[in-house]
Amino acid sequence: MSDQQLDPIIHAPSRLRIMTILTGMDENDSPSFPKSKQQLGVANGNLSVHLTKLEQAEYVAIEKTFEGHKLATYVSVTAKGERKKSVLPIS
């Protein structure tokens, strides 16, 4: 892989892990923020910053909704993010 193929948004270690997990999931599965945090073993603020960068690049979509009286945040890969799947370390 050449330097020209590296995407600094995706290839930062934590964001690479996020994208690898998300693109490896079923198309209709959108993990919650706590589930993503648990899978990655990162702090709330750290995950939030990385997800915001991925959202700004339009690689992920973040949906906030209420479940009962609690705010729930879900993350999914966008079509643009799916096109980046070829540069991720997944089969």
Hey, is 63 helix, strand or coil?
A: strand
31 falls in which pLDDT band (50, 70, 90)? confident
Average pLDDT over residues 46-51: 93
pTM, two decimal places: 0.82
Average pLDDT over residues 54-75: 92
Domain 7-84 carries which CATH code? 1.10.10.10
Kindly list the domain boundaries of the chain, sorted by start residue: 7-84
Q: How far apart (Å, rounded) are the C-alpha atoms in residues 27 and 50?
A: 21
Contacts 24+ apart (CB under 8 A), 37-40: 40/14
Side-chain-side CA neighbours of residue 7 (13 Å): 17
- DSSP H/E element including 7: none
30 falls in which pLDDT band (50, 70, 90)? confident
Rounded to a whole number of angstroms, the CA Rg of the chain reads 13
